[in-house]
Amino acid sequence: MQKNDIVKVKIEDIGVNGEGIGKVEGYPLFVKDTIIGDVAEVKVMKAKKNYGYAKLMKILEASKDRVQARCEFARNCGGCQIQEMSYEKQLEFKEKKVKGNLERIGGFDREFIESIMEPIVGMENPFAYRNKAQFPFGISKDGEIITGFYAGRTHSIIANTDCALGKSVNQEILELILKFWKEFHLSVYDENTGKGLLRHVLIRYGFKTDEIMVCFVINGVKIPHTKELVSQLSQLKGMTSITFSTNQKNTNVIMGDSYQVIWGQSYITDFIGDIKYQISPLSFFQVNPIQTEKLYRQALEYADLKGSEIVWDLYCGIGTISLFLAQRAKRVYGVEIIPQAIEDARENAKINQIDNAEFYVGKAEEVLPAYYERYAKEHSGEKATADVIVVDPPRKGCEESLLRTITEMEPKRVVYVSCDSATLARDLKYLCENGYRLEKVRAVDQFPMTVHVETVCLLSRK
């Protein structure tokens, strides 16, 4: 296969970035804008020794699972990778992806996986599910101030204020801000020069409270004409918090290290189940509250708490899972590296009058092993134990030192919540080689229209 070759290919799978994957005489080609089942004519753009990248020229035979994208920018925008695939097929693909990683990376037998895998949890309406969005601002080729989302793998802004995954009120807020910025001749940030005021606008929405937060991320220390801006934004129904965060660094990190209140509160509130949470501009909070409740209820079911258990919740964030667990456990210990998140977790415990949850700042892979060693010293060699340990790590999964400590503490059950089934499979392999048995696995579609999927697993001590 050589560059500029034009070939016919049938798409059989989807890659980690949403590209269709097909083979021509055994040679894999990655083709953007195709879905499983498409037969396409493609042009090879890059040919490596073992695989290549090709550009879609035309669909020769459309997949039976191909649908019309709801958003006209779906192909260009980096937010949705598989909006042109029917939702039923998306769920099938994600479930298959988890199973494939468990078999290929985890080394689990295919029949065993089929026997323990519970049906994927999908959404009734897989659109308008995001409670948070961050919109970059910039200048179009025509010199107009625009906002929207970055095109895939670029920092080129696609002008669009009506994202199909966000709440409809986002459009009203963005149009108001665009009009205001133009009316008062205010500047927007230019990544090339490092000049200009407005970098991003963060919008958060409380699904059960209808409270709205707007946070301006600025390359400066104040916003001109603040009084007029607040006067307009505060009229919107549900507006609860207007803040700004200063970020004057030349970085891809969106938010600054702190924020200041312009109007209203420093936070909005929302619920997951019966637990109430305060969410600040810097809080980590799952972006799909509908599916998050299903995910956490599944984790709680797998934990099988009776009221007498000691539970550790590692990578606890603002205490979302911890407080769920605390309703049925004797005591819960949460660990999170971000100090602000732990402050939020402690505050959320107070709000919900939960007094059996304690939170610690630090890396989970340092805090738990240090606790384990310290406990043995302080208790004449006696081992620290736990009844249940819950982990919800970032994409990189758990470090081996943490997994080792978990197995040494010998909890009856381990509940593993994962946003990356590849690192999940790797970690499950370690746990199952060191005293644990994989009992149940369930995928939860937290991010419809994208290739990402959450998975929750139950392991029990052999």
Give the model's pLDDT for residue 376.
Answer: 93
Give the model's pLDDT for residue 337.
Answer: 94
What b-and-e string marks burial along 36-70, b requiring 16 or more CB atoms within 10 Å of the CB? bbbebebebbebeeeebbbebeebeeebebbeebe
- Predicted confidence band at 152 (pLDDT cuts at 50, 70, 90)? confident
Residue with tokens 């919008």: 203
41 pLDDT higher than 90: yes
Structure tokens at 334: 């949460």
15 pLDDT higher than 90: yes
79 pLDDT higher than 90: no
- Predicted confidence band at 153 (pLDDT cuts at 50, 70, 90)? confident
State residue 241 phi and psi, 5-degree precision: -145, 125
Give the model's pLDDT for residue 121.
Answer: 98
* 365 Cβ contact partners less than 8 Å away, ≥ 6 residues apart: 398, 399, 401, 402
Rg from Cα positions in the chain: 24
Q: Render pLDDT for 341-356 as a digit per residue (tens, 0 to 9).
A: 999 999 999 999 999 9
**CA 316 remoteness from chain centre:** 14
Residues involved in catalysis:
419
Rounded distance between C-alpha atoms, residue 185 and residue 207, angstroms: 34
109 pLDDT higher than 90: yes
Structure tokens at 10: 């049938």
Rounded distance between C-alpha atoms, residue 229 and residue 98, angstroms: 47
113 pLDDT higher than 90: yes
Give the model's pLDDT for residue 284.
Answer: 85
Q: Render pLDDT for 402-412 as a digit per residue (tens, 0 to 9).
A: 999 999 999 99
50 pLDDT higher than 90: yes
Q: What is the mean pLDDT of the chain?
A: 96
